[in-house]
Chain A
Amino acid sequence: MPFQLERSSHNSGTEVFKLSGTLTMGTQLQSLEWALEDASKQQGRAVLLDMAGVSYIDSSAVGVLMASNGLFSRSGGQMRLAGVTDRVLHILKLTKVDTILSIDTQSASAGAGPAA
């Protein structure tokens, strides 16, 4: 299934990126990276990646998540992942980036509020 991205704003001020399909190397992954880079330029911006519709990710996607997470951290913002599926979580744990990224296996609707 091709990758798709939908953006929306939550009442809390968090911007939700709803991702679906496969997240692998290619132009669509690059478009996600550019969108995240753009969002991170706003000081203190909070972004939630709704990953419930992502069937799997490759190492390039892991790289984009890590690079983007660094951008948000440096700008005082926050990037969180929600609705992470078993396959995606397996890859995040395998590469140990789960120790750095903010990950929630709950759905995005449950996690779009302010971070605890």
Chain B
Amino acid sequence: MGSEPPAVSIFDSTIESVDLAEELTLEYAESVGLEEPDRYSIGLAFREVFINAVKHGNQFGAGKKVVIRLSNPDGAMVVEVIDQGPGFQVADVPNPLQAENLGRRSGRGLLMAAHLVDDFQVEAHRPEGTLVRITKRLTKH
């Protein structure tokens, strides 16, 4: 385990794609031995990252795609979500925990995702878009 190439899937950049993409991610999580409640955590974190890619990355652009890469390096499950948007800086996202933002309708997805997994990375993806990488360590419960 750990040396196999990532499992790559490409989805239409639509909200409707998220359920199928999440299902695929959860099947993969089970196959690599990720137990509950960690499967719940990575599943929900994935939903948030995928929806962020559709809404804020690809900005609902017609014909855009979202790529997911699932891998199982030693002792962990890694999910990468790549959009085709203009890119964004995490520092530019308003902090949803600040008092003036608590009443806002949106803007909590990445915060939630980051807290549900063991590692959360955002980086520019070449030649376009943003890559969000979430990692959950395989722990016996």
Which residues on A are within 8 Å of B, measured CB to CB?
24-26, 56, 58-60, 62-64, 66-67, 70, 87, 91, 94-97, 99-100
Contact = CB atoms under 8 A, between A and B. Distances in A.
Majority-rule SS of A interface residues = helix
Given A25-B15, A95-B112, A96-B97, A58 B102 contact: no
Contacts of B141: none
Contacts of B108: 59, 62-63, 95
Contacts of B104: 63, 66
Interface of B: 15, 18-19, 37, 40, 44, 47-48, 51, 96-97, 102-106, 108-109, 111-112, 115
B102 A87 contact: no
> Nearest 8 pairs between A and B by C-beta?
A59-B108, A59-B109, A63-B105, A95-B108, A67-B105, A96-B97, A63-B106, A59-B112
Given A25-B51, A58-B44, A91 B102 contact: no
Given A66-B103, A94-B111, A95-B108, A56 B44 contact: yes
A95 B99 CA distance: 11
A60 B51 contact: yes
